[in-house]
Structure 1
Amino acid sequence: MANMAGGAGSLAALWTEVNRCGQSGDFSRALKAVNKILHENKEDVTALHCKVVCLIQNGGFKEALNVMNTHTKSLSSDLIGFEKAYCEYRLNRVENALKTIEGISEQTDKLKELYGQRYDECEAVYKDLIRNSQDEYEEERKTNLAAVQAAQSTWENTTPEDLGLPESTYELCYNSACSLIGRGQLSAAMKKLQEAEELCRMSLAEDTDVTEEDIDAELAVIHSQMAYIMQLQGRTEDALQLYNQVIKLKPSDVGLLAVTANNIITINKDQNVFDSKKKVKLMNAEGVEYKLAKKQLQAIEFNKALLAMYTNQADQCRKLSSALQSQNPGHPRPVLIKVAQLCREKQHNKAIELLQVQLYTSPCDILRSIEDFKHKQGMVSALVTMYTHEEDIDSAIDVFSQSIQYYQSEQPGSPAHLSLVREAADFKLRYGRKKEAISDLEQLWKQNTKDVHTLAQLISAYSLVDQDKAKALSKHLPSPDTMSFNIDVDELENSHGATYVRKKAEILCYLIYSTSGATAELDASKTASSPPTSPRPGSGTGSASNVVPPRQQKPAASGATRKKAPPKKKKSGKSGW
């Protein structure tokens, strides 16, 4: 009995230690106490949950995920679903995180925030949260919403809706600048960054515990973004000086260091290669892959291959470019790097052969890899025409599907969107894909229920898969009594027009997309961020993939053990990208 009492007392003391350390933010000591509790009872649900939270707070996302996957019987998805999804999200396993969230029965506010990390959907999530939540996190949610809009401008080439978000904090002001950069408004973006710097200094100066070094560290992301604008404006010396100032500060954010180092390499090009080699180490730092967007990581890998070429590491260049080609099938840049390397080796005939093979074998892949234009109407027309010529109907339909999805997200119900849906439906019907055309036809008919032609097509398509549905839809057809047939039989009998009627439907899908100034839109030289045409270190310099990401608040950790941010300092959680 005495031993049992002693054991109970020991456990109580350990739990007191866990609680005290959690409240003070010392999660390393809390983890030690939790491990002692688990030594007594390996399946203690509360202790396991606390261990997961401690590991997350200490940045041990893989370890936390391993604990959750090992103890699935004790830790149900409803209990630790948020923590699991958060770990997957921080490890860049985005699709897994989405599946985890969707599998949780109760969708709490913090789950909605975590779900909102996918740009094409999260804007609506944050709008809903801001509208319907009343807690102390409103400012953080507005910051995240601004970050979403900035990311859309930067990486998806869209112009976000003006939501009238305040710019009362330096994070909001910074995100506004990111959005302006994405739209090519560099001078306005620079002014906004200067405002963000001033707000940051004022905010942190109010805290007597904050040193000048702390302020410089917080300003590093703003200064790196300023340098990026200078680089785009051709002020490379000024940009290089500011980039190096950021590097010297040694900020704790490995993502910021990687982007800054990458941009220095793009300025160095084939000069100062010793400095560039040192900067590559920053780009290879542990955890960088969890901090940056996919396009940023892609740009970094491209520049590594180019640097290998310029430092005469031919084998390394070929190895890296081959890996890039397998990771990014259809992307032209890995092939161009290979061609450039062959030219440096004076193997011009092989370089020409490689280009010819690429042009002959994958013209559609090359066109579809041009992110800025692949959903433009002229590009859709060209791709559908080429795939149809190759009798690859599945790929042609895939082009339609991706473009419709894009317009559904960006311009729902617009003339371009509905025109694309109509052409997709007609194309599928023309090639006997009636089942696949049903969703398109339903969408068109809902837009205009008086469209008898579309209704007839929809009934015909449903007759193959669902005759009851086809019968129900047929009730919407107008009766013969309500239809007016103004036909002159004599005129019809004498007319020869029918022999000259072309099947407009068969060519419409190839012509309709050449309108609306599509040719002008394909002129990449008109954008402020056009990448150089020849491969070199810095080929990504002008692209949005080198821009420092918008400031995004990380989704909150478990509420019971969240470390309280110091007042006024406003640094907790705001270094997340």
Structure 2
Amino acid sequence: MASREAQKELNIRQYYTELNKFGQAGEYDKAVKASNKILSIAPEELKAAQCKAVSLIQLSKFDEALKFVEKCPNVQELVFEKAYCEYRLNTPEKALKTIENSKINPLPPNLKELKAQVLYRLEHYDDSYNLYRDIVKNSTDDYEEERTTNLSAVAANLAIQGTDKKLPDFRENTYELVYNSAVALSGTGKYTEAEKKLVISEKMCREFLEEDETMTEADIENELAIIRVQLAYCLQMQGKGKEAAIIYAETLKNKPNDPALVAVASNNSVVINKDQNVFDSKKKIRAAMVDAVEHKLNNRQKKSIAVNNCILALYTNQGDLAQLVNKLVLKYPDLEYQASLIQTCQYMKDKKYKEASEVLEKFVAKNPKLSSDINFALIQLHLMSGNKSKAIDVLQSLDNDRKFSPGVVSALVSLYLGSNDKQAASEVLKNAVDWYKNNKNKTAGDLSDMWRQAADFHLRGGEAETAAKSLEELFRSNPSDMKILAQLVIAYAQFDPKKAQEASKKLPALETLTTQAEIDELEATNWMMIAKAVKKKTAKSDQSPGTPGSDLTQKKNKKKKRKNKLPKYFDANAKPDPERWLPKQERTGYRKKKDRRVKEVMKGSQGMASGQADQFDMTKAQNLGQNVKTPTNREEVLGPRQQQRKHQQKKKKGKH
């Protein structure tokens, strides 16, 4: 027994020596075999099990490694290996559950770092940020720079989400840190600043990689691709679509290794194309939706691609758009707003305004808080379908801040007047005036035009008191405008003479409005019409009544009206030709001139009349046994004009 145990120990030591040798040499296939030898002798050996799991992970055999760990008797000691395999197999939820169920407290550094990465993949950026920050503070090793880079990536995503946390300023001593800083800036809409940082990051990246002699130009271009795509995005958001499209095209031409990068570049190219270059867009949207990128993109990116796929289907009129929209809502319920708009656009293209409005009405009923913007689209649809009453109802349902804005008030008044409801239009203006009086702090912009329109409307409608309220507000904002004051006096005079008298005292005196100098200047002005009138006056005043050529002595010769000339042989008693307005070739008596170049086809005996050719043509068998009618000359019915011409010719002959 002692000799057996000694031999077993000797074999285990020998196999561990081999395992160590293979592990240091990076020969992981042989390391797996060496681990199996140890485990076959001693299944409880934890180190051998860990070495086998790590070797399988190094060989990217994550599925095999996970199965081995789960069957291992001391699986509780292999929590890290199990969670890492689940993370690499794109099941981060399982990985997080494995770590949390391990009940290891406190977590060792490797598990803590893995948990931070899992949380980042699950887009729990707050928890990931806190964990990474703790790791960076409490660790000092060769991987400190990588952890700082990961922390800056988490901070960039928090900035995109619009966090309230005060994020730290990272030292931008590497191209990765500069890149993450640029991503954070672009996520907050600072595209110009982000563009400058991305240019710096690209330069730093090239310089750093060129120092490594093992890196080829293809490897460098592959590493630079992510920076360039982000730069193209910043240019695109600044309205520089052409420059962005060139960068996307060059990146896709180089075929980068990262499928997520290909998906982002393809999707953004589709956005630039819009409804142009549809075939290229269809090809690129397929590249953006391959299964390989499903676990490499975050939810925000996947949602954008899914929405763009539906919009492209709308542009191309291909595929079942309704089915695509339903899938979009099932997968991402928070995209119901975009889905409703896409479906509405499809109905509008087909001129189905009723169905389009029904889609929006359903969305408004489900989401009353999100309906403020979509209500205006619904109003437009009701107006396009000719349903003014529904459009008015939607406008009236808006909250007061929007309902009493000048544009909405104007629209409501126009719609009520179009429906011949002047009373309702007047009520809208009254309510607007009262609301603005009670909410002076909420007023924004220049409302003078609205006050003026309201005053004019009520003055025309005989509501002087209501008009006075609008004029008072208008005069308060323009106290130097005497025209408004004059209108206010007119309004007061209709219901309160005392107020009218007090207000009229503020009007300037009549003498101050005009001076003698202004009158002389107006009279002396050489306007075109006045100058002509002055010349006429002076010409008339220079001539005396007795002088020859004056207007008083000479009478203008009135032109006599010429009588209309009638045709020479016009007979008033004769009936007019009923075909007199028809073209000559369409009249009954018109004979078409024969073309002398075309010879008449003759059949039968010589001298036979051409009209009788068919009668004696033996080739036409259908003529046999039929009664053939001889041609008769039809008398032409001539109108009065032709009759007169004939009469004229006879007379001429008689003269000879």
With the length of structure 1 as denominator, give the TM-score of the two structures: 0.56
Matched, 1:83 2:81: yes
Q: CA deviation at 1:257?
A: 1.4
Q: Write the mapping of 1:69-468 to structure 2, written as runs, cut at 5 A.
A: 70-71=70-71, 73-76=73-76, 79-104=77-102, 105-106=104-105, 107-116=107-116, 117=120, 118-154=124-160, 156-158=161-163, 161-315=166-320, 317-331=321-335, 332-364=337-369
| Greater RCO (CA < 8 Å, at least 6 residues apart) | 1
User: Match of 1:564?
Assistant: none
CA–CA separation in structure 2 for the residues paired with 1:272 and 1:28: 50
Q: CA deviation at 1:199?
A: 1.4
CA–CA separation in structure 2 for the residues paired with 1:65 and 1:366: 49
Change in 2 beyond 3 A, CA 1:353/1:201: same
CA–CA separation in structure 2 for the residues paired with 1:61 and 1:174: 31
The question of whether the paired residues in 2 share the 8 Å contact of 1:262 and 1:300 is answered with yes
The question of whether the paired residues in 2 share the 8 Å contact of 1:330 and 1:366 is answered with no
CA–CA separation in structure 2 for the residues paired with 1:42 and 1:353: 68
Q: Any idea what SS the aligned residue of 1:290 has?
A: coil
Query: Which AA in structure 2 matches 1:86?
Result: Y
CA–CA separation in structure 2 for the residues paired with 1:253 and 1:37: 39
CA–CA separation in structure 1 for the residues paired with 2:189 and 2:181: 13
Change in 2 beyond 3 A, CA 1:140/1:325: same
The question of whether the paired residues in 2 share the 8 Å contact of 1:91 and 1:290 is answered with no
Q: CA deviation at 1:25?
A: 4.3
Q: CA deviation at 1:188?
A: 1.1
Q: CA deviation at 1:356?
A: 0.9
CA–CA separation in structure 2 for the residues paired with 1:341 and 1:57: 51
| Higher radius of gyration, 1 or 2 | 2
Consecutive unaligned residues of structure 1, counting only runs of 5 or more, are 368-515, 521-577
Query: Which AA in structure 1 matches 2:172?
Result: E
CA–CA separation in structure 1 for the residues paired with 2:39 and 2:254: 41
Cα deviations by residue, 1:513-560 (Å, 9 ceiling, x for unpaired): xxx99x99xxxxxxxxxxxxxxxxxxxxxxxxxxxxxxxxxxxxxxxx
Matched, 1:23 2:21: no
Change in 2 beyond 3 A, CA 1:126/1:260: same
The question of whether the paired residues in 1 share the 8 Å contact of 2:44 and 2:73 is answered with no
CA–CA separation in structure 1 for the residues paired with 2:38 and 2:344: 61
User: Match of 1:548?
Assistant: none
CA–CA separation in structure 2 for the residues paired with 1:308 and 1:113: 43
Change in 2 beyond 3 A, CA 1:37/1:250: farther
CA–CA separation in structure 1 for the residues paired with 2:331 and 2:271: 22
CA–CA separation in structure 1 for the residues paired with 2:282 and 2:54: 38
CA–CA separation in structure 1 for the residues paired with 2:308 and 2:43: 48
Q: Any idea what SS the aligned residue of 2:333 has?
A: coil
User: Match of 1:378?
Assistant: none
CA–CA separation in structure 2 for the residues paired with 1:220 and 1:157: 27
Cα deviations by residue, 1:136-184 (Å, 9 ceiling, x for unpaired): 1111111111111101112x12365352321111111111111111121
Change in 2 beyond 3 A, CA 1:244/1:319: same
The question of whether the paired residues in 1 share the 8 Å contact of 2:329 and 2:339 is answered with yes
Query: Which AA in structure 2 matches 1:103?
Result: N
CA–CA separation in structure 1 for the residues paired with 2:285 and 2:11: 51
Consecutive unaligned residues of structure 2, counting only runs of 5 or more, are 373-440, 446-656
Change in 2 beyond 3 A, CA 1:28/1:202: farther
RMSD: 3.7
The question of whether the paired residues in 2 share the 8 Å contact of 1:149 and 1:160 is answered with no
Matched, 1:57 2:58: yes
Change in 2 beyond 3 A, CA 1:240/1:34: farther
